[in-house]
């Protein structure tokens, strides 16, 4: 049985009760974060908390994040994930429970804070080495995709469209630009330069994206942050995604056509190696478990 955190308490998941009046449930009026842990050690927890703070501020949800990092670590301990190679903590903060109105509740309402931990499995090295397929799908999200809100319906529908078409993942396209994936950021390699969309209001500013950009820069890899036109995709040497549960994920088939030479590209491989090296470095630095 898993232990979850709800409004100040660590409880069994089947004891967790959230009001049907909760504005997250009724209106998707809330934000969330997903922070990775490797063998019980958090990766970029401070950056995830900073992004959550921004999401809350934009949504005008009043909630102090004091103590939330410790709650993340406690969830990993309580669920005994200290030895799990890959796990994460999901936290969701909604505007709270109040009679349904399209405007904010008139009375002071406490935000609802719910968090859980779970393990996830990365694809085997053999599976990863084959690369993954992706399909372009229209981006039907609102104009503030940079806020990590729990309103993920357009992402859900895009991902489902891709799966039903036999692809592993979706690439969201808006105004002829390949913006990002349904749950990961999107990258291309063109003539030796690694390219990804700049952090405008149209994309989620991924933490993995930020880390990979820093690592690529330190390694002297040519980088460009600019929109990638859909017409350019057929000329890409490599395509890949980045994200918390995808890490660096190669795309070797796009809309049924082979990408580059059809195998995982050398820069994708290099960035993946650098990313795993960074994870290892963070783990060693924080040696001496959080438990
Ligand atoms: N998804 N783009 C979108 C639309 C996302 O939902 C995510 C994260 C990312 C990658 O961000 P990061 O590197 O910080 O994980 C990009 C999370 C993991 C999710 O919804 O489960």
Each residue's pLDDT tens digit, 13-28:
999 999 999 999 999 9
Where residue 41 falls among pLDDT bands split at 50, 70, 90? very high
- Quick: pLDDT tens for 197-255: 999 999 999 999 999 999 999 999 999 999 999 999 999 999 999 999 999 999 999 99
Residues 63 and 192 in one domain: no
Residues 72 and 158 in one domain: no
Query: Based on the structure, what is the number of domains in the chain?
Result: 2
Residues 21 and 64 in one domain: yes
- Quick: pLDDT tens for 118-169: 999 999 999 999 999 999 999 999 999 999 999 999 999 999 999 999 999 9
The CA-atom distances, in angstroms, between 142 and each of 54, 129, 153, 161, 162 are 18, 35, 11, 19, 20
* For range 81-85, the mean pLDDT: 97
* For range 183-196, the mean pLDDT: 98
**Residue 252 within any structural domain of the chain:** yes
**Domain span holding position 18:** 3-119
Question: 272: Cβ below 6 Å to ligand 1?
Answer: no
Whether the predicted pLDDT of 290 surpasses 60: no
The CA 208 to ligand 1 mean position distance, Å, reads 9
- pLDDT score of 286: 78
Q: Which of 87, 119, 151 is the last residue of a domain?
A: 119
How far apart are alpha carbons 257 and 135 in whole angstroms? 10
Q: Which of 91, 119, 147 is the last residue of a domain?
A: 119
Residues 96 and 141 in one domain: no
- pLDDT score of 259: 98
**Residue 291 within any structural domain of the chain:** no
Question: 33: Cβ below 6 Å to ligand 1?
Answer: no
**Residue 36 within any structural domain of the chain:** yes
Q: Is the pTM of this model over 0.95?
A: yes
List the residue whose alpha carbon is closest to atom 9 of ligand 1: 184
Residues 87 and 102 in one domain: yes
Q: Which residue pairs from 183-187 have beta carbons closer than 8 angstroms and sit at least 24 positions apart in sequence?
A: 183/155, 183/159, 183/243, 183/245, 183/246, 184/208, 184/241, 184/242, 184/243, 184/246, 184/249, 185/209, 185/241, 185/242, 185/243, 186/228, 186/239, 186/240, 186/241, 187/212, 187/239, 187/240, 187/241, 187/242
Question: 244: Cβ below 6 Å to ligand 1?
Answer: yes
User: How many CB atoms are closer than 10 A to CB 62?
Assistant: 13
Residues 98 and 115 in one domain: yes
How far apart are alpha carbons 164 and 152 in whole angstroms? 18
Instruction: Report phi then psi at 223, rounded to 5.
Output: -130, 150
Ligand 1 pocket mutation pick from 122, 159, 185, 210 by most atoms within 8 angstroms of CB? 185
User: CB-based contacts of 218: which residues, under 8 Å, 6+ apart?
Assistant: none
Of 19-23, 106-110, 283-287, the range with the lowest mean pLDDT is 283-287
> Any catalytic annotation for residue 148?
yes
Residues 136 and 274 in one domain: yes
Question: 243: Cβ below 6 Å to ligand 1?
Answer: yes
- Quick: pLDDT tens for 46-62: 999 999 999 999 999 99
List the residue whose alpha carbon is closest to atom 18 of ligand 1: 244
- pLDDT score of 285: 87
The CA 99 to ligand 1 mean position distance, Å, reads 31
Residues 204 and 251 in one domain: yes
Q: 163: alpha, beta or left, given left = phi > 0 and alpha = psi -120 to 50?
A: alpha
The CA 66 to ligand 1 mean position distance, Å, reads 23
**Residue 58 within any structural domain of the chain:** yes
Q: Among candidates 37, 66, 73, which has minimal Cα distance to 52?
A: 66
**Residue 237 within any structural domain of the chain:** yes
How far apart are alpha carbons 226 and 232 in whole angstroms? 12
The CA 107 to ligand 1 mean position distance, Å, reads 33
Ligand 1 pocket mutation pick from 180, 212, 244 by most atoms within 8 angstroms of CB? 244
- pLDDT score of 257: 97
Higher-pLDDT residue of 287, 128: 128
Residues 14 and 55 in one domain: yes
Check which CATH number belongs to the domain holding 196 and give it. 3.20.10.10
**Residue 289 within any structural domain of the chain:** no
* Residue 159: Cβ-neighbour burial (10 angstroms; 0-12, 13-18, 19+): buried
**Residue 288 within any structural domain of the chain:** no
Check which CATH number belongs to the domain holding 67 and give it. 3.30.470.10
How far apart are alpha carbons 237 and 114 in whole angstroms? 42
Atom of ligand 1 nearest to the CA of 155: 4
**Residue 39 within any structural domain of the chain:** yes
Higher-pLDDT residue of 193, 289: 193
- pLDDT score of 204: 98
Catalytic residue among 148, 234, 270, 278: 148
Residues 106 and 146 in one domain: no
Residues 217 and 231 in one domain: yes
Residues 80 and 145 in one domain: no
Q: Which of 75, 95, 119 is the last residue of a domain?
A: 119
């Amino acid at each position: 049985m898993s232990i979850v955190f709800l409004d100040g308490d660590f409880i069994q998941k089947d004891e967790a009760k959230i009001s049907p009046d909760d504005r997250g449930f009724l209106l998707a009026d809330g934000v969330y974060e997903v922070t990775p842990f490797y063998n019980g050690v958090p990766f970029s927890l401070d950056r995830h908390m900073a992004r959550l703070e921004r999401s809350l501020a934009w949504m005008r949800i009043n909630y102090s994040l004091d103590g939330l990092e410790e709650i993340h670590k406690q969830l990993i301990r309580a669920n005994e994930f200290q030895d799990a190679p890959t796990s994460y903590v999901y936290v969701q903060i909604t505007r709270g429970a109040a009679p349904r109105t399209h405007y904010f509740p008139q009375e002071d309402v406490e935000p609802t804070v719910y968090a859980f931990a779970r393990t996830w499995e990365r694809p085997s090295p053999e599976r990863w080495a084959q690369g993954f397929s992706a399909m372009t799908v229209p981006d039907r999200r609102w104009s503030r995709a940079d806020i990590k809100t729990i309103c993920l319906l357009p992402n859900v529908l895009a991902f489902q469209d891709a799966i039903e078409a036999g692809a592993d993942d979706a690439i969201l396209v808006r105004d002829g630009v390949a913006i990002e994936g349904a749950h990961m950021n999107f990258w291309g390699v063109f003539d030796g330069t690694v390219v990804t969309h700049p952090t405008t209001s149209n994309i989620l500013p991924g933490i993995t994206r930020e880390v990979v950009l820093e690592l690529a820069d330190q390694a002297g890899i040519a980088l460009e942050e600019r929109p990638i036109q859909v017409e350019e995709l057929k000329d890409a040497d490599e395509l890949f995604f980045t994200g918390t549960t995808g890490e660096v994920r190669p795309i070797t088939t796009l809309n049924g056509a082979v990408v580059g030479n059809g195998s995982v590209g050398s820069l994708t491989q290099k960035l993946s190696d650098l990313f795993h090296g960074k994870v290892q470095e963070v783990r060693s630095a924080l040696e001496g478990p959080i438990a």
